[in-house]
Structure 1
Amino acid sequence: MSGATPPAQPPPGPEHDPDPDPDEPVRRLPLPRPPRPVPLWRWRRNPLRRRTDRLLGWIGLSLLLLVPVLGLAATFAVGDAAHRHYRATAEHQTRARSLLAAVLVHDAPNHPEPGSDEARKARYPVTVRFTAPDGRDRTAKADVLPGLTAGSTVTVWTDRHGALTEPPLTIEQIRSRTMGWALLAFMAVALAGFAVHGAAALILHRRNLAAWDGDWARTAPRWTTSP
């Protein structure tokens, strides 16, 4: 058709040159850079800013200020409760448990590297004999140092019924468990803050989509109707 508009052609360049000069260096167009994020754009006046954008910005700022405060409060509260709990547990264990002398029934195995750091930390289960708090002689398995011979004396912790048990909680154990619970409390508050911000962003995003659908439903008939 003589009146038809020819299709748009790409600009001339080395990729479209039918006879490129082999001695001429190839020039390539620079790739477009992604737009840089604008700081505090949710509070800046611009025609594209929506009320939901401003609301989400205020929610994020509020959480940024509240999460550290609430996290520290939860840390101290949970840490104090955990410290009181474990201290009371240690006191109860001290009253309910007894430190007794026990005698090895047979020799303990030798460590492959005697005198090494690993040998000093290693423990082997060996049958020991001891007198329980009720006055009865008992035998049980206890972890002892390697290389001890039969008849050697070791100390064991027993409960009121004469069963071997762990020693009461030490000050270091109480401190480490208290710090662990305090750290978990702070992390829980931080994760809750992230969850609240994510939920708010999702709700506002769905609200934006619904608003766009409504605006398009009112605008589309005016665009598609022939004059």
Structure 2
Amino acid sequence: MDRELPVVRLCVAGMQAEAEGRAEKARELFQQAWDGARDDYEACVAAHYLARHQSSPAETLRWNQECLDRADLVGDERVQGFYPSLYVNLGNAYRELGRADSAHRYFVLAAERVAEAPEGQYGDWNRFAIAEGLRGTAAAAAAEGDEGAAVRGRVGESVEGLVRELFAGWCERGDLKALALTLPAYLGYLGTDEDRVRLRSALHMVHAARWLPEDEQAAVEWALGVMAMP
């Protein structure tokens, strides 16, 4: 974003106030940004931050929808990288309202565009948020007759069941090497073939190093075998 734009400067100031625990001041600055927006792009930016300071889930949803609508109206490269997080925000808003089936649809849309998010920590945050949203809403979507969600849910549950117990043991023992190698692939698992290969490769590295206790070594070997199955 162009930090010289008045709207962006106001939002940056609002983020600073937010970080300092001055929520009311932050909301005031974001409202000023919205009131001063001169086009759909600036309105999109301001709406994104205003959505974070609403008093009800319904209002949060309304402002996140406003943000998405304005991004659609802009429709150029300036907003391309926004879409993964815009869809995540809408998914989270629908979850807050108890509408998990609608939330799931937006997490799926976010997953389809996750590659458009900027690389680095922001991109990782988006991927992790999308993966968590998909896991948390797949059952509701499957209940609504979404066959794709049912498949993704079964795959996600299978993978999660195989590795969660291992993670619990590594956390308890403080095995930072095993966690560092595998957690990024697990937390960012979106159910694609590429994600499956990434997670299996991470587990394989831990298995090949052979530093785990014998029972965990056998558990990882079993997990690798199951994950290799079609």
Question: TM tier, shorter chain?
Answer: under 0.3
Q: More strand per residue: 1 or 2?
A: 1
Q: More helix per residue: 1 or 2?
A: 2
- Structure having the higher Rg: 1
Scaled by the length of structure 2, the TM-score of the pair is 0.22
Relative CO higher for 1 or 2, CA cutoff 8 Å, sep ≥ 6?
Answer: 1
